[in-house]
Amino acid sequence: MAVDLRGKWKARIHTKDTEIVKRTSEHTHAPDEQAVSCCETKLDIKRKARESQDSAHHIVGESLQTASEGTAAKLPKLDSLKRTIQRQRASALAAPVQEHLLRLGKWTQ
């Protein structure tokens, strides 16, 4: 995962609309620009997977060409990225739920 510090701090804020009403503590680490860039690259890969029919290898290769070395180092393994592409495509092709066929709370025989 790109963000190595997840769950290790207890900083929280409470908001009402766009106003911060309570802070429990402050962040104690510097922002990680490579982690942000890594997340953006993964989102771009997912978007391309849904919108194009290019091979998974082509999508990953194209994204790695535009990524910095630091970003590429933080990305998951190639097999994991390819599996992410497969999952994105499968979810895009999944049939929508037909609510009239569902009977929630009742057992059918």
Is 75 within the bounds of a domain? yes
The residue among 53 and 10 whose pLDDT is bigger is 53
Is 10 within the bounds of a domain? no
Helix (H, G, I), strand (E, B), or coil: what is residue 22? strand
**Predicted local confidence at residue 24, as pLDDT:** 80
Which residues does residue 14 pair with via DSSP β-bridges, in sequence order? 22
Provide the 10 A C-beta neighbour count for residue 36: 13
Is 69 within the bounds of a domain? yes
The residue among 81 and 23 whose pLDDT is bigger is 81
pTM of the model: 0.65
Is 17 within the bounds of a domain? no
Is 74 within the bounds of a domain? yes
Is 41 within the bounds of a domain? yes
Digit-coded pLDDT (tens) for 39-85: 999 999 999 999 999 999 999 999 999 999 999 999 999 999 999 99
**Predicted local confidence at residue 7, as pLDDT:** 61
Is 85 within the bounds of a domain? yes
Is 4 within the bounds of a domain? no
Domain extent, residue 69, equals 31-89
Reported confidence tier of residue 102, pLDDT bands at 50, 70, 90: low
Instruction: Give helix 33-51 / helix 78-93 axis angle, nearest 10°.
Output: 50
Q: Count up the domains in the chain and report the number.
A: 1
Whole-number mean pLDDT of the chain? 83
Q: Round to whole Å and give the CA distance between 76 and 71.
A: 10
Contact 5/29 with Cβ under 8 angstroms?
yes
